[in-house]
Structure 1
Amino acid sequence: MDMMALLFSLSLATLRLATPLIFASMGGLMSERSGIVNVALEGFMLTGAFAGAVAGQYFASAWMGWAAALFAGLVIGALYALFVIELKADQIVTGMAFNLLAMGVIPFLTKIFYNSTGSTPALLVEDRFAFEPLLMAFALVALISFWLYKTRSGLWLLFAGEHPEALVASGVSVRKVRWSAVCASGAFAAWGGASLSLFLASSYSPMMTGGRGFMALAALIFGKWKPVPALAACLLFAFADALQIRLQGVRIGDMEVPVQFVQILPYVVTIVALAGFIGKSRAPKALGRE
């Protein structure tokens, strides 16, 4: 394979692998810019991946799976909002609890639906997405960027995470803004999961997110809680993932590099980014505050 073909292959793989990260990072942005910490992205993605795979296989339509993931994401986002906004639960602990909940409930449901705790039945090739989630992911970043800085409701979201007192003084309900943001967070992250089971793969498999929810959160932090920089961070992490796939089986002299050393590359890049190798990020001032 010549250099141009290799670069094209890596670029295409990077874009495909970035799709779930982009959706999840935009979901995290919606929640955290409103002042609600969201470490439940992994659980939201698993929920969307499962709901999308089940509905997509049942109706033989990726679009029906996409709609089911949206609905499931809104439901789990609303449930998360109920705990952290209304019941004042600790946001970090609640987020991790939602991750564990998704990891435990989904095998239980697959056992009920398919008499198996493993993968769901696969969609036919013609029933899967070809490229649509990739286009929607980039469109979502553009829409959020415009909405966040150019519309009144977008500015409300920013003030909810920076100066909630200013919203209260202007007669806007911080509670309602945060509820809307967290529900949207669940929907977007669920779409990230659905892009795994309906686009990158053809079914749900246990733990198929592989830590992408946490990588999306890292991309959000690395991108300083801004849509376009977060997108760039997602592309960076996806490139590292695409590169590790390409490097599997590589040899140095007569010795083959252990595949485990190659597979950790995306996570090493994530850790280095979060360690502040390229500058420090400032979180929204009201993040995590009631």
Structure 2
Amino acid sequence: MSDFFTATVLVATLASGIRLATPFLFAALGETIGQRSGVLNLGVEGVMLIGAYAAYITALRTGSSLAGVLAALAAGAAMGIVYAFITVVMHATQGISGIGIFLFGLGFTDLLFRTQVGTPVPIDGLGSARIPGLADLPVVGEVLFEHSVLTYVAFALVPVVWFVVNRTTFGLNIRAVGETPEAADTLGVRVNVVRTWAIIIGNMMAGLAGGTLALDVGIFQQNLTSGQGFIAVALVYFGAWRSSGVMAGALLFGVVSSTVLQLKTLGIIVGATSTIAAMAPAVLTIVVLVLVSRRIGAPAALTVPFERDG
């Protein structure tokens, strides 16, 4: 165990934790926007898978990570339009619809991978973008300033999402339709239009989360996300629908996951113990979620469809 508590290993663990937190942060921030508008999307996992495959196959065919990122965003937007039609226009039950999106994403990406690729083919992953000067700082530089561009973008989005939700007219409308859609409608807010845009934005970020994961590991395989989308949904509750809280939850989950990986790599935990330890991040998230959820309240109109009278 003493091998773990060395400066080199601890710094590597923290840096890896930040990297592992990136997909969760993208997906959870997007889901935060959607839920603040009153729409729950349990299909985040499926959208992440579709975004991951879109990024992978595009990067494989073009050799461009940027093209892969754009493909992931486009795939997320397309799924957002589909989900908005199902839930906002057709008023389908959001929980069941979300599970349907997840199952579709799981099966569809597996089918595409088998027919278009077959055997896993690696692609060039996201390289590290060292920030000159800052990356040379002792300890802090390696932990914070030697990550991919998408990691910096994810954490930069935390204050951006806060500002949009709390300091813009669009954000005010999102919060209004998520709390009292009938009152917002009487004030001239187009409730379903606002919700549709919130869903599309949220799904684009979920698609980007999947794309980040695929480009990070440089490969695609069946069920690549392994439940990360559902954890992202839980992190929205963990963070009390606030971007800063979501970031804290993503970092906690990322660091715990990184710690487990390091302990396995060092051979400190092996065999059955290793299998049990692998569940630690999910178990921790559930425990904290249960404790936190008792003290917070969801948007009042979450999962409630809106239909104008008359």
Q: TM-score, normalised by structure 2?
A: 0.87
2:284 is aligned to 269
Instruction: Identify which of 210, 219, 223 aligns with 2:226.
Output: 210
Which whole-Å CA distance do the structure 1 matches of 2:293 and 2:16 have between them? Answer: 25
Q: Once superposed, what is the RMSD of the aligned Cα atoms? A: 1.7
Show the 5 A alignment for 1:163-178.
163-178=180-195
Contact preservation (8 Å) 1:25, 1:219: yes
> Greater shift after overlay, 28-37 or 103-112?
103-112
Show the 5 A alignment for 1:79-228.
79-114=82-117, 116=118, 119=120, 121-124=121-124, 128-130=126-128, 131-199=148-216, 201-228=217-244
Instruction: Identify which of 253, 258, 264 aligns with 2:273.
Output: 258
1:31 aligns with 2:34: yes
2:44 is aligned to 41
AA in 1 matched with 2:222: P
Task: Decide whether aligned partners of structure 1 residues 106 and 256 sit closer, same or farther in structure 2, where only a CA change above 3 A counts.
Answer: closer
Which whole-Å CA distance do the structure 2 matches of 1:251 and 1:112 have between them? Answer: 41
Which whole-Å CA distance do the structure 2 matches of 1:30 and 1:149 have between them? Answer: 11
Contact preservation (8 Å) 1:34, 1:287: yes
1:68 is aligned to 71
Which whole-Å CA distance do the structure 1 matches of 2:268 and 2:17 have between them? Answer: 23
Which whole-Å CA distance do the structure 1 matches of 2:6 and 2:115 have between them? Answer: 49
Which whole-Å CA distance do the structure 2 matches of 1:88 and 1:47 have between them? Answer: 24
Gaps of 5+ in 2: 129-147, 306-310
**Offset at residue 112 of structure 1 (A):** 2.4
Partner secondary structure for residue 276 of structure 1: helix
Question: Percentage identity across aligned positions?
Answer: 30
Contact preservation (8 Å) 2:54, 2:68: yes
Which whole-Å CA distance do the structure 2 matches of 1:163 and 1:247 have between them? Answer: 48
1:240 aligns with 2:256: yes
Which whole-Å CA distance do the structure 2 matches of 1:195 and 1:83 have between them? Answer: 27
Which whole-Å CA distance do the structure 1 matches of 2:180 and 2:92 have between them? Answer: 21
Which whole-Å CA distance do the structure 1 matches of 2:35 and 2:24 have between them? Answer: 16
Q: TM-score, normalised by structure 1?
A: 0.93
Contact preservation (8 Å) 1:250, 1:256: no
Task: Decide whether aligned partners of structure 1 residues 278 and 70 sit closer, same or farther in structure 2, where only a CA change above 3 A counts.
Answer: closer
Superposed structure 1 runs of 4+ greater than 4 Å apart: 249-252
AA in 2 matched with 1:208: L
Which whole-Å CA distance do the structure 2 matches of 1:220 and 1:16 have between them? Answer: 19
1:5 is aligned to 8
Partner secondary structure for residue 123 of structure 1: coil
Contact preservation (8 Å) 2:56, 2:68: yes
Task: Decide whether aligned partners of structure 1 residues 169 and 277 sit closer, same or farther in structure 2, where only a CA change above 3 A counts.
Answer: closer
2:245 is aligned to 229
Contact preservation (8 Å) 1:222, 1:281: no
